[in-house]
Every structure is written in C-alpha cells, then in structure tokens.
Structure 1
C-alpha cells in the first residue's frame, strides 16, 4: 500500500504541520513501488522518443510527461496533446500560444518537438528534470486527496516563481497568473473574488487583480511575491478565506437541512 500524506488539520494549522513534515512525508511517498516503476520506465525510454506521436502512443511515458505539468486529466486527449506538442511555441499560430492555460505552453516549450530539429528529449538531463517535476506534482496530488487547499498552497511558490522569473512586463505576468488555473484559484480566493469573476472582460479582470493586490499587499506588482513575507501573507489569506467559505457553506447546508426537518 502506498504512503498517504498526513494532514491532521485544515487551514493555517494544517499548513504549518505540512511545512514541518514535508521532507519526510515526500520521501516516504516517493518510495512507493508504483511511482518508482513509472519513474524508472520514463528514465529508460524517453530518450528513444523523437516525435510527439511517439510520446502520445506510449501511455506510460505520456502519463509521467503530463503529470510533470499538472495535466494528468488530459491522458486520454492524445490528439489534442499531440497537436500542442507538434505546433511548438515559436509560431504565433501555435496552439499552445492560443490556450489560456499556460501549462500547455510550458510543456510544448520544454519538449521542443515543434521548435527544434532535435527535440529536448535528447538532452542528457531532460529525463531527470521531468521526473523531478513529476514526483513533486504527484506528491501534491496525494496531498490534495487529503486537503485540496494544501495542494494549491504547495504549488504556489513554484508556479509564481516561474512567472516572476520571466523577463516580461507586469501586465504579462498577471495574464500568466490568470492563465494558470491553480494560481488563479488561489488569487481569486485570497482576494475575495466571486466564482463568476472569470466571466467578465479580461482587461477588467486584470484591473481588479491589480487593484485588490494593491489593497491587500501594498503593491500591484506580481514580482512582490518573490519576497517570502509577501508570499507567506498570500498563502495565509488564501487559507483563511477558503476556510471561512467552507464554514459558511457548511452552515448554509445545515440550515437548509434544519428547515426541511422542521417542515416534516
């Protein structure tokens, strides 16, 4: 039986416990036989893959590849994934450049099937980097099976760091935040935005994100979260608001049940 992460509390207390025990828990998780077999298979075989077609034709390789980018739900969408990978990222018409979810762009860029004569699967450290990302995200998935908020909090530093490290404008970085579903959920929750927020005009969304970021964190810039104190405050606010929302939903559900019972 594989190791299941232990999250004894929700909210800030659970996050503090997870931070203290993360190294030990992740080590135990990664020792699981199934994960070890999948990782070994990928390491031994990805170097033989030179086209997107070959990758999507091998379900075990594709499972690790998608898992490394948090895209495991697309395992059966082989035509779509092949198209994303074959188009690459260098052309403005490439599919990855038209998708709001930036994880597809990152995967297409990293594999390089559509951008280079020799894909990056042939680079000596490609397997190691992909496997490391896969292990990290699989542990996050396991944590999410216990507490989804903890999974989102865990991915925050990595996903934000990838955006902050780009040499692009602050506006472009906010669009990247909005184009990353886990990051977007964290920010929408932390900033108290409604679930319908994503349906309004994209430029208006940008304006609201910047205004509320200024109000809650003292700056409208995405780069502010390179400061550990600012990142910690974002995480704290996300967990607190999420816990409040869950408590409110539970109270509402209980009130409805009580009303129904009283009318019996």
Structure 2
C-alpha cells in the first residue's frame, strides 16, 4: 500500500502545512512497500543496462526510468521512447530536441545512450540520482491527486531553479519557462495571464511574460527566481490566484491578499 500525502487545506495555508510536514510525509511515502520494491530493483539492476534496447526490455526498470521524469504514461509507447533515448541530445535533429515537452530532453540526457560510448547507467552515482528524482516526482504526483495546485507548486521549486541557473541568454531562460508546461502554468496563473496567450506569436508571448513579471516582481528576468525568496513570492501569488479562481472560499479576503502580494493594495 502506498502512503497518500495529507493536504488538509487548500491555498497558501495548505502549502504552509505541506512544507512543515514535508520531511515526514516524504519519508513515509518513500518507505511504502511499492516504492521500495521499485527503487530496490532499479538500484540492483540498472548497472547491467548498456543500451536503450536493454532498458526497453525490462519493464520494471523502464517504469522507474520514465517515472523519474513524470513520463510513466509513455511506458507502452515503446518505439517512441526508444527513439528518444537512442537519438540522444547532441544532434540538433535528435527527437528530444524537436519536442516541446522538455522532459524528454532531460530523460534522454540523463541516460546518455545516444551521446556516449559509455552510457550514464554505468556511473556509480547514477542509480541514486534517478531514484531520488523518481521519489520526488512520484511524491509530487501523489500530492497532485489530493490538490493539483500543490503539485504544481512543488514542481516549480525544483524545475524553476534549474531553468534560472541555466547558462543561456535572458530570452533563452524565458523560452525554458514557456516550454515547460507545468512551470508555464504557474506563471500564467500567478501573473494573471489567460491560457490563450499561448496562441500569440512567440515574441508576443515573451513580451507578455516579461511585462507582467516586471509589474509584479520589479524585474523582468527569469534569473531572479534563482533566489528562494522570489520563488516563494511567486508560489504565494500562484496559490492565492488559484484559490480565487476556484472560489473555494470567500473571494473578498483573498482578493485583498492578492492586492497586497501584488503591490497594488
């Protein structure tokens, strides 16, 4: 039986509770029999995997590999998954480089089958790196079954810091945000952008994200979110706006809180 995370409240109050109890809840989740079986098997057997074909032939290993990147629903898309792995990421024409969902890029990069003579599966640190990512991602999914906004908030803290610390141009960082569906969703909600912004020309989208971010955070660059306090501010704004939109409590106090958080009280 898998431990089900406890999220007794919605909005920022629920987020505060989740953070206070995070270590205990994650430990209980990771110690559940189903998670233990999956991660123990992966640790004991992944070192023998030398190719994408080897990984595809072991469904138990593949389940953890995909689950670490939130791609578990692709477990039956064998041709597609193998192509992503075998192409690697170095070649511009590699499949992972053409997909808008950058989880496939990270998945292929992590295993290294298409890029190196010796894949990353043979590194001594590899099993624990993937297992940790698997545990974190699966915990987030379990939290999302209780409250989807909490899952997005958890994901943001992990994903956004990686994007913000990427060595690329300022615009490149924004493309990283806009190309990550979960992170983008948080920004759109927090900044009050309609989902229809995605139908605009890419340059117009970039301008919208920059303008609204500058309005709420006095800085238009993604790099500012490498600072934990700025990520927390973004999460607060996201959760308050989400709760207002859901209408789960009286709108008036939430709208007042939103005004304060946005600097427009």
Q: Quick check: TM above 0.5?
A: yes
8 Å Cα contact 2:161-2:226 kept in structure 1: yes
Q: Name 1:138's counterpart in structure 2.
A: 138
SS of the residue aligned with 2:21?
Answer: helix
How big is the alpha-carbon RMSD for the aligned residues of Structure 1 and Structure 2?
A: 1.6
CA distance in 2, matches of 1:56, 1:198: 35
Shift in Å, 1:227: 1.6
CA distance in 1, matches of 2:196, 2:121: 40
Q: Name 2:98's counterpart in structure 1.
A: 98
Shift in Å, 1:155: 1.1
Mark the runs of 5 or more structure 1 residues left unpaired by the alignment: 252-264
Shift in Å, 1:115: 0.3
Q: Name 1:76's counterpart in structure 2.
A: 76
Instruction: Report how many residues are paired.
Output: 251
CA distance in 1, matches of 2:220, 2:123: 39
Shift in Å, 1:176: 0.8
Shift in Å, 1:77: 1.4
1:20-74 Cα shifts (integer Å, max 9, x gaps): 0000011111110010000011111111111112212221111111111121221
1:90-138 Cα shifts (integer Å, max 9, x gaps): 1111111111111111111111000001111011110110000000111
The answer to which of 49-58 and 88-97 deviates more is: 49-58
Shift in Å, 1:3: 1.5
Q: Name 1:162's counterpart in structure 2.
A: 162
Q: Name 2:121's counterpart in structure 1.
A: 121
CA distance in 1, matches of 2:140, 2:235: 16
Task: Compute the TM-score of the two structures, normalised by the length of structure 1.
Answer: 0.92
Q: Name 1:210's counterpart in structure 2.
A: 210
Q: Name 1:233's counterpart in structure 2.
A: 233
Q: Name 1:150's counterpart in structure 2.
A: 150
Shift in Å, 1:171: 0.7
Shift in Å, 1:198: 1.4
Quick check: 1:40 aligned with 2:45?
Answer: no
SS of the residue aligned with 1:133?
Answer: helix
CA distance in 2, matches of 1:201, 1:96: 23
CA distance in 1, matches of 2:78, 2:217: 41
Shift in Å, 1:158: 0.9
Shift in Å, 1:244: 1.1
The answer to which of 80-89 and 52-61 deviates more is: 52-61
CA distance in 2, matches of 1:130, 1:108: 12
Shift in Å, 1:195: 2.1
SS of the residue aligned with 1:2?
Answer: coil
1:128-149 Cα shifts (integer Å, max 9, x gaps): 1000000011111111110010
CA distance in 2, matches of 1:195, 1:167: 28
8 Å Cα contact 2:165-2:226 kept in structure 1: no
CA distance in 2, matches of 1:72, 1:239: 27
CA distance in 1, matches of 2:193, 2:238: 11
Q: Name 1:85's counterpart in structure 2.
A: 85
